[in-house]
Amino acid sequence: MHDRLRTPRLAAAAALGFLLLNYPLLALFDSPARVLGVPLQLAYLFTAWALLIVLVALIVRRPR
């Protein structure tokens, strides 16, 4: 990936992270339901967080 594309993609990933981890979406998952014994909101938070980590890793990885 070219370095000139890396910065806008990282900015888009940061914006996506802001949207995923902000109030309106968090409120959608605020319920007493459980996923594999974990409250739904916590499952959503950790899944979104892991998704952002993987996305940033894919953006910044160096080609071989």
Longest CA pairwise span in the chain (Å): 46
Grouping H, G, I as helix, E, B as strand and the rest as coil, residue 38 is strand
* Positions of E strands within the chain: 34-35, 38-39
- Top pLDDT among 1 and 41 is at 41
Which pLDDT band, with edges at 50, 70 and 90, does 2 fall under? low
Interval 24-57: pLDDT, tens: 999 999 999 999 999 999 999 999 999 999 999 9
Orientation of helix 40-60 relative to helix 3-20, angle to 10°? 170
* Domain range list for the chain: 3-60
Interval 10-21: pLDDT, tens: 999 999 999 999
pLDDT of residue 64: 61
